[in-house]
Amino acid sequence: MSLRLAVACARQEAEKLSPLLRELERRGTVRPIVFERERHAFFPAEALEHAQADALLAVGPSAPGRLAALRRSHGRIPILLRPAAPPHDGSRILRSLRDDFLFRLECRYADAVLCAGSNDRKRCLRLGIAERKLHDAPFAVDNAHFAGSPHCREAAGTQRARLGIAEDEKLLLYAGKFDFRKGVHILLEQFLFLRRSGNGGKWHFALAGSGECEETLRQMAAEDSHIHLLPLPGAQELPSLLRAADLCALTPRTGLPWGALINGAMAAQRPVLVTEKAGCAPDLVEPGATGWSVDSAHPELWFDYVKGISRERLAAMGEAAGRKIRNWTPAAFADAVERAIPRKNR
* Residues 135-170 pLDDT 10s: 999 999 999 999 988 888 899 999 999 999 999 999
Beta-sheet pairing, 79-82 with 30-37: unpaired
Q: Which of 244, 62, 78 is nearest to 158 (CA)?
A: 244
Alpha-helical segments (H) within the chain: 11-27, 45-51, 64-73, 93-109, 118-126, 143-147, 150-162, 184-196, 214-221, 238-244, 260-267, 281-284, 311-324, 330-340
d(CA 53, CA 269): 39
Handedness of CA 19, 21, 25, 27 (dihedral sign): positive
Q: In this structure, what are the phi and psi dihedrals at residue 322, rounded to the nearest 5 degrees?
A: -65, -40
Radius of gyration of the chain (CA): 21
The confidence score (pLDDT) of residue 48 equals 63
DSSP 8-state code for residue 67: H
The confidence score (pLDDT) of residue 245 equals 98
Convert the pLDDT of each residue in 3-49 to its tens digit: 899 898 887 788 889 999 999 999 988 888 887 766 554 555 556 66
Cβ distance 10 to 34 under 8 Å?
no
Check pLDDT > 80 for residue 86: no
Q: How many CB atoms lie within 10 A of CB 19?
A: 17
**Cβ contacts of 43 within 8 Å, gap of 6 or more:** 6, 8, 35, 37, 66, 69
Convert the pLDDT of each residue in 228-263 to its tens digit: 999 999 989 999 999 999 999 999 998 898 999 999
The confidence score (pLDDT) of residue 342 equals 81
The confidence score (pLDDT) of residue 46 equals 57
Convert the pLDDT of each residue in 205-234 to its tens digit: 999 999 999 999 999 999 899 999 999 999
Between 46-60, 61-75, 82-96, 218-232, the lowest mean confidence (pLDDT) is in 82-96
d(CA 283, CA 258): 10
